Structures are given as C-alpha cells and as structure tokens.
Amino acid sequence: MEEFLKAVSAMNDESRVRIITFFMAYGSCCVCELEASLAMAQSTLSRHLKILKDAGFLRIAKVGARSYYEIAFASSLQESLAAEVKALAILLPSKIDAENTTRCKILGK
C-alpha cells in the first residue's frame, strides 16, 4: 500500500508528469539538459527528480563527472503509471544537448 501511495503521489504533479514523459521520449538526461529543455529552475527540477527517484521511477547513472537520470521502474506499478502518462500524448520541447548548454559549459557539468 505504501509503494502505491508514494507512486501515485509522485505522479500528482504536472511538472513530474512532464519530466517522466520527457525521459520516456528522450532517454537518460543530465540535470542541465532537463533544466534547459524544460525551462525549469535547477532547484525546482532537483526536488521533482528526487521525488520521482524516491518513488521508484528513476535511477541515477554516473558517467565520469556527470550524473544522468534515467527511467528505472522499481516495479510494474511504476511502469503501469508511466504507460498511462505516455498515453496522454503530452507535447514536449526538443531535448537540448548538454554540450551546447552554456550553463553546463560554465559549471563544467
């Protein structure tokens, strides 16, 4: 029951629904790619990513100095909820590559 409530609560926010949809469309992303692509403040984005990770929707993969978030469903519950989100056919912005993002270059991410 606790897993169900945590997963449903995580998806009870428009920004998190857009983030999950973005991952399903584009695969793994670093925070600066998400920040630039979704036009979201880093602090807000980090909070949403933590909630999604804690609810079993995401995992972090380290590649060198960068951390990439990616879809990693903890169970079929998260996978089912994500499938429902995908069925909404939400329009997304294009993915902005981290190498072309000024903020990433400045911060060395």
CA distances from 88 to 17, 58, 60, 71 (A): 10, 20, 26, 18
> What interhelical angle do 31-38 and 14-26 show, nearest 10?
110
pLDDT given at position 17? 93
* pLDDT tens series, the chain, 109 aa: 888 898 989 999 999 999 999 999 999 998 888 998 888 999 999 999 999 999 999 999 988 888 899 999 989 988 898 888 888 887 777 787 765 555 555 555 5
Give 29's strand partners: 69
CA–CA gap between residue 87 and residue 45 (Å, rounded): 23
pLDDT given at position 100? 57
Q: Look up residue 47 and give its amino acid.
A: R
Domains in the chain and their CATH numbers?
2-107 (1.10.10.10)
